[in-house]
A and B are shown apart, each in its own frame.
Chain A
Amino acid sequence: MATPLSLKELSKKEVLLTAGHRMCSGCGAPLVVKMVLLASDYPVVATSSTGCLEVSTCISDYTAWKIPWMHNAFENSAATLSGIETMYRSLKKQGRIDKEIKFISFSGDGGTYDIGFQSLSGAMERGHDMLYICYDNGAYMNTGIQRSSATPLGADTTTCPAGSVVPGKPQERKDLTKIMAAHGIPYVAQASPSHWSDLMKKVRKALEIKGPKFMNIIAPCNRGWRSMSNDAILLSRLAVETCYWPLYEIENGVTRVNVKPKEKKPLVDFLKPQGRFKHLFAPENEWLLKRAQEDVDKYWERLLKEEEFTKPQEEAKE
């Protein structure tokens, strides 16, 4: 029987990413990894693309991973995992291995949205039985906070610094979660470590579904977001409550919004505690704040409509 998703029961489980790794204090990424691995009752083999998580969890001769884990390069975490998963299928078919193993990739937004996008798209299209998890902190944090296609509109990064002419990142984020859904894979979801139970339920669900699955999980980075090191959970919660980071899933084409805030907080509640958005509060950038709020509103409305529109017939009748 699966371990009940209660803190009491989960606390009895072994944490498979050990303490002593060198991620920054207050980083969201190791929280995500720990939650995902706690959610699984299966043995897991994982890969990571080059990035913070990789360089900080396995520095020779030490490793924080208590599961088989592989880092290959930056742009190929999905292709690498697809190779591991295929060898598993081959050996299983030949009767050379019999246990049930799950395959998970933990990679950052740079390695997922940008340089690893082709590798990810290919692996999803080929239908490998694997769960790809992007821990999205919205920039190339490992190399020193450069903009990625996951960086939000207006954010100040080292390659789109807020200056007197350019007020931070001029473009909106790439909607990767929807792009992955457009691959027609059986399960796509967004999650946040602030909503741990929702996150872990999604991981559990994903691991029970055969085929390629994708989860995008927000992972605050206090260095890049220029926020307090004890605010990772607070900020990821505000991301959900402002609908900047909606918690939803798309299962076989059916969209479900898992968390609908009773009171949708204004986007500035999420932006204000972060130094990367400080310049947006200057009077000359008011238009940008307004646009960012409009983008969030529009997206949220569309998502709710999508939920309505994709609702299965029986449910719709009730």
Chain B
Amino acid sequence: MALTLAEKIMSQRAGRPVRSGEFVVLPVDLVMMHDGTGPLTIRQLAAMGFEGPRDPQKVVLCIDHGFPSPRKELSNDHLLLREFAQRTGVRFHEGGSGVCHQIIAEDYACPGQVIVGADSHTCMAGALGAFATGMGSTDVAAAMALGEIWFRVPESVRVEVSGSFPAWVYPKDLILYLAGQLGADGATYQALEFDGPAIRAMDMSGRLTLCNMAVEVGAKAGLVASDAVTRSYLESRGRGDRWCPVEPDDGATYAARITVDAGKLTPMVAGPHRVDRVVPVTELKGTRVHQVFIGSCTNGRVEDLAVAASILRGRRVAPGVRLLVMPASRRVYLESMKSGVLADLVAAGATVSPPGCGPCAGIHLGILGDGEVCLATTNRNFQGRMGNPQAQVFLASPATAAASAVAGVIADPREVMA
């Protein structure tokens, strides 16, 4: 029986072969929550009659959405989380450590695991060959209490990417292109499985960007096979011994197959207020921007900040534009500091904020004014997403963001760097 990646991981954890469409209860290897969803998760766990998680070592709790706290209500939520962490011994990451998904990638996720998190972008860990998906607080509380949760084994869409990316075109442009093609519900209840020569050649940072945005087309997971790139990433993070190969079988059944030639991609931009309203940057060139945000779990990694710095080095952020940079984790922050990337960005006029989720989710830092436009490297541009329903958010790669910060209008990085 030939299995997709999703079927393969789920079969392994189920201890029997399972096929798409089946409902299964699977043991979970890792459960994640943060300060946005954690307080409700903890209350639901108590309401179910449990004092703590079945296995605190499998629970990761991060403060990232409202840190440093802008309001006493959020500070009080943080108190509740710290008390819970202290009492139960779950793996706690204090504010400033980074965005939960980046922490999961850096410190926890391993190939073949089943991971659930109380955040929709939990699917990012699929880049490491884990079946990772977002759920709500009550499902996550159940997974914490019982050590297992139910799933419907998804059908998979195979995205086969050939060729190599042209200069100034990135995995972010690929996933925006796919969002435009598939639509915001184009893969609902399904798994997106990325493969092909361009994916095998892609670094972990790019794979994480792809899998992060699988949920933006409705998918429950984004998956990449566990290969040599996965192995060297895990080795670099001290988890080399946890590597194992996870590959889809030849002849597996897919709900659909999509082929993309990376060589034909161009920088893409999603316009307000839809992630699937995607056009080549050339069609939006000249649109005035007031704020540019480079960061988030989607595109706040060392590689992303380095690309931005390569454009901003020796240039200045245009007058009338605020450039906000937010490393995805403390590790990214430190590494980018040591390499000089942050110095280049600050010298060009950027404001660097502590690692977290605030601007992307409209909670704090970088809230837009009425009628303002932000170009962001984040994953969502729904109305009100960055804190103001009267503002507009465009989504693009760090290169397009940096080029636009220099130009003061949406700009094509290929032209700015020509």
Specify whether A and B are partners: no
Interface residues of B (CB under 8 A from A): none
Interface residues of A (CB under 8 A from B): none
